[in-house]
Structure 1
Amino acid sequence: MEDNNTNIFQKLRKLEKSLLSFFFFIPYSLLFILLIFLLSYNGASIFCVHVPFPAKPSDSGDFFTENSSSGQSPKRVFSSASKAPALFAVKEDFPPLQKSVVLKPVSLLKVKWKRRNRAMLRTLRPTAVSNRFSVRAKEFFHGSCLNFSNSYNSSRCGCKIRFFLTWISSIELFGYRELFSLESVFKFHSNACVLIVSSSLDSSRGEELLRPFRERGFRVTAISPDFNYIFKNTLAEVWFDRLRKGSVEPGEVSLGQNISNLLRLVLLYKFGGVYIDTDVIVLRSFVKLRNVIGAQTTDLETGNWSRLNNAVMIFDKKHPLLLKFIEEFALTFDGNRWGHNGPYLVSRVVSRIGVRQEFDDFTVLPPMAFYPVDWSRVQGFFHGPRDAVQSKWIVSKFKRVQRESFAVHLWNKHSRNLNVEEGSIIHRLVLDTCVFCNSLAQAM
């Protein structure tokens, strides 16, 4: 037994000596590599950070479905926790998030947007003509009527109401629809002064386009804007200065469109009066309207507005709500989201102010006032009757618009290429609101 134990012990000693001999014969370089591998593995296991996937958004919470008069599919919007009747829901359509974003140097971004908006930036520079904006505007509104009167219009001297339009595009795009918008203004406001703030229309070609109105005795003119003068002493001045220096990224939305969004607000704040888009047909007098803006859509369940629009606005000079609009534009400008600086802007501000006393003279009119048809259904206003059922609907809708609407927005982006068919609602409205009453209805 002892001999067996002795043999086993001797064998183990021999094995130990063999392993030690093998270990000492291993090259030092191989041992070093093995050691580095073990240390690396240990470090990775200690410092590895596990990032969980984001949780799936919950469908619960303070949400409700927006019911639009447009008949669009329901959209998700945030609900207000406040019970104040003047606070309403506002939804913005955001572009889809990208899977990965590569941040570019600020200098490269400035170069990119400057190249894209070079032509527009040139029109924003002051010129000898635009520097006379303040003088010409004052003369137009308060000067002698001799420049605008003749035997035909001697009784129309003076501005009973001021209208402002903006045209930042080229003069070639100012067509029949835009001219008919002017016709409709003067149809119901013969004593109005209509100022078109535009560099392209402040030209010899612009004079030709406006001459027929002047020959009829209507007071209308186009004046190149002096942005330094118009924006002075407001936050618009700060924003505009940053834009020209390249500190504001204009974004993918047309810079001209956003300049118009801001310009209309400051013009009303500095002068007071009515602003209308050039694709709006006026249907009756605005004289009795003060400090109003129109709802575009309403919630069918509550009856409250769900979105406002800035295509028609009527305000007194220096109204505090206009100052809030201007501040919102300058502080929250985003050139990559359509409507963020326009319709959604006025909706956001009016939602926040609630029923505060300083804005108690402000009114939101229902959609029928200025937007009797939604952009998604506007083509129906251009189509003539196809059968007895459609003919009956056209007559009924036309009578309601005549009875309840102050204007109709044509949503040019969605109706520009539509023809005005005989017997359609637009055709009937044109015949009711024309001044020259030529073949303009078909030309539109």
Structure 2
Amino acid sequence: MTLISPTVDSFGERESFAVDSLFRSHRNACLVIVSNSMDSEQGRALLKPFIDNQFRVTAVKPDFAAAFKNTPAETWFRDLKSGRVRPGDVPVAQNLSNLLRLALLYKFGGIYLDTDVVVLRSFNGLRNCIGAQTVDAVTGNWSRLNNAVLIFDRNHPLVVVERVIGDSGFNFTVMPPAAFYPVDWSRIAALFHGPRGRVHARWLRKKLEQIKKESFAVHLWNRQSRDVKIEDGSVMSRIRMEYCSTFCNSSSSSSS
């Protein structure tokens, strides 16, 4: 995971739930959160419930120069620091986060997850995968990829994913939207709302069944849903009840 934020305030209940769900599905995982703010006394306090439960999790400050060295990002980063290039319309922090995850995966391999991805079941068996966010309604082919979940071997050329589609020299899989993005960002609030009537309650039950059957994880699109509360009877309330343990138990005991 990466968290490019000046304070630990952005690592709240949602993010702790994401970490909790990861370890629930991968008991022996080793989680590294690359973050200046989390590599601190406050950050370690937030991760303490997981460490106390013998989960392997740590936070480390990012070394951008070392991460980007000998990658296509190295020149861009050097020019950015010297003021020779402008970051463009995308915020610098977002650009750095995107590049950092790619560079680290390229150098070390493994699984990258955004901090607002709730894991529902084991990723064992998935290899060299990226998820489609949307598909073309006519052709059924993917139309947009998303990098909130990335699973790649070391030195895999995932950075040029669009250029290598159809090239037999590269082996990777584009997972369907249901795998990691069962609900689009524009509709994510629907997972947080409780039933509004009989018809809506039926839809919620079917959506939960579909997610549990087809999805490995659920991206919560925090930018759109951060301020949306989890209502009783909602899909998220059921997911939280079933997939949260360490953090939820710790929260309950500390608030009582």
Q: Within 2, Cα distance between the matches of 1:440 and 1:215?
A: 14
Match of 2:205 among 387, 395, 406: 395
1:256 aligns with 2:93: yes
Letter in structure 1 aligned against 2:103: V
Give how far 1:251 is off: 3.2
1:166 aligns with 2:10: no
Q: Within 1, Cα distance between the matches of 2:82 and 2:47?
A: 35
1:297 aligns with 2:134: yes
- 1:60-139 to structure 2, matched below 5 A, reads none
> What's the secondary structure of 1:166's corresponding residue?
coil
Give how far 1:439 is off: 8.6
Contact 1:176 1:440 (8 Å CA) reproduced? no
1:433 aligns with 2:253: no
2:75 is matched with 238
Match of 1:355 among 152, 159, 166: 166
Aligned length: 251
Letter in structure 2 aligned against 1:311: A
Q: Within 2, Cα distance between the matches of 1:393 and 1:285?
A: 26
Give how far 1:234 is off: 1.2
Residues 415 and 377 of structure 1: CA distance in aligned 2, closer, same or farther (over 3 Å): same
Contact 2:204 2:235 (8 Å CA) reproduced? yes
**Alignment RMSD:** 1.6
Deviation per CA, 1:405-439: give whole Å up to 9, x if none.
00001111111110000110011111111122349
- 1:24-63 to structure 2, matched below 5 A, reads none
Give how far 1:440 is off: 6.3
Letter in structure 2 aligned against 1:391: A
2:28 is matched with 191
1:4 is matched with none
Q: Within 1, Cα distance between the matches of 2:28 and 2:207?
A: 30
Q: Within 2, Cα distance between the matches of 1:411 and 1:172?
A: 17
1:338 is matched with none
Deviation per CA, 1:226-283: give whole Å up to 9, x if none.
1121111112111111110001112343211110010000010011011111111011
1:279 is matched with 116
Contact 2:2 2:33 (8 Å CA) reproduced? yes
> What's the secondary structure of 2:169's corresponding residue?
helix
Q: Within 2, Cα distance between the matches of 1:250 and 1:373?
A: 30
TM-score with structure 1 setting the length: 0.55
Give how far 1:306 is off: 1.1
Contact 1:378 1:410 (8 Å CA) reproduced? yes
Residues 440 and 363 of structure 1: CA distance in aligned 2, closer, same or farther (over 3 Å): farther
> What's the secondary structure of 1:238's corresponding residue?
helix
Q: Within 2, Cα distance between the matches of 1:412 and 1:424?
A: 17
1:179 aligns with 2:11: no
Q: Which has the larger radius of gyration?
A: 1
- 1:331-342 to structure 2, matched below 5 A, reads none
Higher relative contact order (CA 8 A, sep 6+): 2
2:42 is matched with 205
Match of 1:408 among 212, 218, 227: 218
Letter in structure 1 aligned against 2:2: T
2:189 is matched with 379
Contact 2:34 2:59 (8 Å CA) reproduced? yes
TM-score with structure 2 setting the length: 0.94
Identity of aligned residues (%): 57
Q: Which runs of 4+ in 1 moved over 6 A?
A: none
Moved more, 244-253 or 279-288: 244-253
> What's the secondary structure of 1:222's corresponding residue?
strand
Which runs of 5 or more residues in structure 2 are unaligned? none
1:330 is matched with none
Letter in structure 2 aligned against 1:168: I
